[in-house]
Amino acid sequence: MPGGYSFRPRAWSLALALAACAAGIALGNWQSRRAEEKRALGARLEQVSVHGEFVAGRTVLLDNKTRRGRVGYEVLTPLRLNDSMHVLVNRGWIERERISELRTPAGEVRIEGIALERLPHALELEKNTGGKIRQNLDIAEFARETGLALQPVVIEQHGGPADGLLREWPRPDAGVEKHAAYALQWYSLAALAVVLAVVLAFRKNEDSSK
């Protein structure tokens, strides 16, 4: 119709819109999965209480952990439950400048906390080669390295003997709202890509009578 508009999408704009839509949906789905994972983690946390003796010589310090704007270490020490079984305990946080003050309680202790399937994994430029100070710690790898029979969980300590460590732990489900908001943003961008592709596909008809 002369002077009107017709639906004539350009191939390149249609391909670009489809790619943007697919990327938005994929990223939205990823953020939604992360939100569900954190909800599930918060729902299945197990409160535990164990007795044992710390193996101080196997203590590991996870570096670059921040609390209240300060940088320090999270202190992980195996707890001997009996002659053959151990469990890894994340005892708490200590500032770098105070690391010389770190002490491990001697004798039998009672530890209360929650059992986690694994420790959060931080980005590291080089693969872990052992040592006391590390970026990450995998339970199974640490068991092979030390020869200790470790339970396949790590206890995030909430109660026990006073040792000067700070135990302010983030909630396991922290960030659910953030992931949900990001998912909504990505889905909205995917929808916007489709709308723009449709709008731009309508082009004004040329008046052949001129």
DSSP 69-127: TEEEEEEEEEEE-SSS-EEEEEEEEEEGGGGGG-----SEEEEEEEEESSPPPPP-SS-
Distance of CA 148 to the CA centre of its chain: 26
Does residue 90 share a domain with residue 9?
A: no
Q: What is the pLDDT along the chain (210 residues), one digit of tens a residue?
A: 455 767 677 777 778 888 889 999 999 998 888 777 777 666 567 789 999 999 999 999 999 999 989 999 999 999 999 878 999 999 999 999 999 999 999 999 999 999 988 887 765 555 656 789 998 999 999 999 999 999 999 999 999 888 999 998 876 666 677 878 888 899 898 898 888 888 877 777 765 554
Q: What is the pLDDT of residue 207?
A: 59
Q: What is the pLDDT of residue 158?
A: 93
The count of domains in the chain is 2
Does residue 55 share a domain with residue 36?
A: no
Does residue 54 share a domain with residue 30?
A: no
Does residue 149 share a domain with residue 95?
A: yes
Residue 182, in any domain of the structure = yes
Q: Angle between the 11-43 and 176-201 helix axes, to the nearest 10 degrees? A: 160
Does residue 31 share a domain with residue 120?
A: no
Does residue 69 share a domain with residue 35?
A: no
Q: What is the pLDDT of residue 39?
A: 72
Does residue 74 share a domain with residue 34?
A: no
138-170 burial, b if ≥16 CB within 10 A, otherwise e?
A: ebeebbeebebebbebbbbbeebeebebebebe
Does residue 88 share a domain with residue 189?
A: no
Residue 138, in any domain of the structure = yes
Q: What is the pLDDT of residue 1?
A: 47
Q: What is the pLDDT of residue 173?
A: 60
Residue 34's domain comprises 5-41+176-204
Does residue 53 share a domain with residue 30?
A: no
Residue 64, in any domain of the structure = yes
Residue 31, in any domain of the structure = yes
Does residue 188 share a domain with residue 118?
A: no
Residue 21, in any domain of the structure = yes
Does residue 150 share a domain with residue 54?
A: yes
Does residue 114 share a domain with residue 14?
A: no
Does this model's pTM top 0.85? My answer is: no
